[in-house]
């Protein structure tokens, strides 16, 4: 199933996008410290942002222990995986629109009276065909 390309304001902040991207890379549980280190964030930031994602139903949290040490693991839910795929598809469309606009602006010839200035070409609307 292909995800619908749309921005997700819940995932868009870079810290949450990083967390979701790292979790989307694997299908298994990721331990708290491994996710924290891979995202390059502090314990408190991961705790706060993972709570937001958990409350939205995007991340599942499992708590347990290894020996006597408490541990926390995370993984994306099916809803979270779909939201990440949709958001990444939207970002890819956005990148393509910007690239196309840049190419068009570079290829545009100046009109008489433009004094050598390139014509501005508006980017295509996202989601339009």
In the structure, what pLDDT confidence band is assigned to residue 106 with cuts at 50, 70 and 90? low
Least Cα distance to 19 among 11, 29, 28 occurs for 11
At 64-92, the pLDDT tens digits run 999 999 999 999 999 999 999 999 999 99
Report the distance separating Cα 58 and Cα 21, nearest Å.
Answer: 12
* Placement of tokens 């606009």 in the chain: 101
Give the C-alpha distances (Å, rounded to integers) separating 122 from 88, 97, 102: 23, 10, 10
- pTM of the predicted model over 0.75: no
Q: Is 14-105 a domain of CATH 1.10.10.10? A: yes
Report the distance separating Cα 86 and Cα 81, nearest Å.
Answer: 9
SS3 61: strand
Least Cα distance to 101 among 79, 119, 124 occurs for 124
Q: Where are the domains of the chain?
A: 14-105
**Would you state the pLDDT for residue 78?**
95
Q: What are phi and psi of 127, to 5 degrees?
A: 85, -5
At 9-52, the pLDDT tens digits run 999 999 999 999 999 998 799 999 999 999 999 999 999 999 99
SS3 72: strand
23 vs 105, residue with greater confidence = 23
127 has a pLDDT exceeding 80: no
């Amino acid at each position: 199933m292909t995800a619908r390309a749309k921005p997700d304001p819940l995932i868009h902040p870079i810290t949450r996008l990083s967390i979701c991207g790292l979790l989307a890379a694997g299908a298994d549980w990721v331990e708290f410290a491994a996710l924290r280190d891979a995202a390059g964030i502090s314990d408190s930031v991961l705790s706060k942002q993972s709570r937001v994602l958990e409350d939205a139903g995007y991340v599942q949290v499992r708590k347990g222990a290894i020996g006597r040490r408490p541990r926390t693991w995370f993984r994306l839910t099916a809803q979270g995986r779909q939201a990440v795929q949709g958001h990444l598809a939207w970002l890819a469309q956005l990148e393509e629109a910007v690239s196309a606009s840049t190419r068009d602006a570079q290829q545009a010839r100046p009109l008489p009276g433009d004094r050598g200035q390139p014509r501005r070409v508006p980017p295509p609307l996202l989601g339009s065909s």
